[in-house]
Amino acid sequence: MADKVEEKTHFICDSNQLVNGGKGIRFMVSRHGEPTPAFVVRFRDQVHAYLNLCAHQAMELDWNEGDFFDRKKEYLICATHGARYYPDSGRCAGGQCAGRQLVKLEIEEQNTQVFLRKSNDIHLIA
Ligand code: FES
């Protein structure tokens, strides 16, 4: 069983490194051959991963590494101009991102570990 998980996925972190509304884990992916920052957070017990690129401008969301949530832990927030995103979908919830959304990555949690699912255009950079 564990072998099948490894064939389809890249290990990102242990589950206990992600707490609801807490710091996110950053990682790098190759997207269409380009190195691109990404992150994973936990929200309402589920893990969610996105490219770390604001939909307003291609800026990383977190000024302080791993700080993706707003103060109330309700939204992901871009530190540059304050765009807010729904943590579970990446859709814009207000601000400079109106009508756009974060690029969501396929992530899964199994056996107390978090994995990025491999896809044709996105791969973890070791
Ligand atoms: S770059 Fe994120 S809100 Fe402007």
Mutate which of 51, 56, 100 to test ligand 1's pocket (most atoms within 8 Å of Cβ)? 56
Distance 3 CA to ligand 1 centre (A): 40
Residue of the CA atom closest to atom 4 of ligand 1:
81
Global confidence as pTM: 0.93
Residue 5 is predicted with a pLDDT of 56
Of the options 3.40.50.300, 3.30.470.20, 2.102.10.10, 1.10.150.120, the CATH number for the domain spanning 2-124? 2.102.10.10
Which residues is 48 bridged to in the sheet?
A: 41
Residue 109 is predicted with a pLDDT of 97
Residue 118 is predicted with a pLDDT of 87
**52 burial level (CB within 10 Å; 0-12, 13-18, 19+):** buried
Q: What is the distance between the alpha carbons of residues 42 and 22, in angstroms, rounded to a whole number?
A: 7
Q: Is the pLDDT of residue 1 over 50?
A: no
Is any ligand 1 atom within 6 A of the Cβ of residue 26?
Answer: no
Instruction: Tell me the per-residue pLDDT of 61-100, one tens digit each, with 9 for 90 and over.
Output: 998 999 999 999 999 999 999 999 999 999 999 999 999 9
